[in-house]
Amino acid sequence: MSNPTRVEPVSTWIVTPRGEAAETPPARVFGLSAGERLERTLARHGSGPLRPWQPGRTESAPGASVVFRSDTFYDERLVQALLEADDALVFREENSGEALAACTHGDLDAAARALCEGGPSALPRITPEKLVPSYNSQLRKFDPAFVFAAEPDQVAEAEKRIFSASYKGITDFITKHVFPAPALAVVRVLARWGIRPNTVTAIGYALAAAVIWLFARGDFGLGLLCAWTMTFLDTVDGKLARVTLTSSRLGGFLDHALDLVHPPFWWWAFAVGLGIGQPGIELQMILIVGGYVVGRILEGIFLAAFGMEMFTWRPFDAFFRGIVARRNPNLLLLTVGCVALAPELGYLAVAAWTVACLGVATVRVLQASTARLAGRPIRPWHEEGLER
Q: Per-residue pLDDT tens for 148-166?
A: 999 999 999 999 999 998 8
* Cα–Cα dist 17/29, whole Å: 20
pLDDT at 388: 39
**Taking 50 as the threshold, does the pLDDT of residue 17 lie above it?**
yes
**Taking 80 as the threshold, does the pLDDT of residue 303 lie above it?**
yes
pLDDT at 208: 97
Residue 105: CB atoms within 10 A of its CB come to: 15
| Confidence bin at 277 (pLDDT 50/70/90) | confident
Q: Convert the pLDDT of each residue in 309-364 to its tens digit.
A: 999 999 999 999 999 999 999 999 999 999 999 999 999 999 999 999 999 999 99
The mean-pLDDT minimum among 116-130, 227-241, 255-269 falls in 116-130
Mean pLDDT throughout 303-311? 94
**Taking 70 as the threshold, does the pLDDT of residue 24 lie above it?**
no
CATH 1.20.120.1760 domain span(s) along the chain: 170-384
pLDDT at 348: 98
**Taking 60 as the threshold, does the pLDDT of residue 378 lie above it?**
yes
Q: Convert the pLDDT of each residue in 25-55 to its tens digit.
A: 779 999 999 999 999 999 988 887 888 887 7
pTM: 0.90
CATH number of 170-384: 1.20.120.1760
Identify which of 284, 258, 259, 260 has the alpha carbon closest to the alpha carbon of residue 270. Answer: 284
- For residue 2, give the DSSP letter: B
CATH number of 10-136: 3.90.550
pLDDT at 54: 79
Q: Convert the pLDDT of each residue in 63-84 to its tens digit.
A: 788 999 999 999 999 999 999 8
**Cβ atoms 41, 50 nearer than 8 A:** no
pLDDT at 253: 85
| Confidence bin at 108 (pLDDT 50/70/90) | confident
pLDDT: is 61 or 177 the higher one? Answer: 177
Polymer length of the chain = 388
CATH 3.90.550 domain span(s) along the chain: 10-136
* Cα–Cα dist 162/171, whole Å: 18
Q: Convert the pLDDT of each residue in 169-217 to its tens digit.
A: 789 999 999 999 999 999 999 999 999 999 999 999 999 999 999 999 9
**Taking 80 as the threshold, does the pLDDT of residue 119 lie above it?**
no
Q: Would you call 242 exposed, middle or buried from its count of C-beta atoms within 10 A (0-12, 13-18, 19+)?
A: buried
* Cα–Cα dist 300/199, whole Å: 30
Q: What percent of the chain has pLDDT over 90?
A: 63
pLDDT at 79: 93
pLDDT at 386: 41
| Confidence bin at 381 (pLDDT 50/70/90) | confident
pLDDT: is 95 or 177 the higher one? Answer: 177
* Cα–Cα dist 384/236, whole Å: 33
**Taking 90 as the threshold, does the pLDDT of residue 133 lie above it?**
no
- Across the chain, mean pLDDT equals 89
**Cβ atoms 364, 310 nearer than 8 A:** yes
pLDDT at 111: 87
| Three-class DSSP category at 329 | helix
Q: Convert the pLDDT of each residue in 235-245 to its tens digit.
A: 999 999 999 99
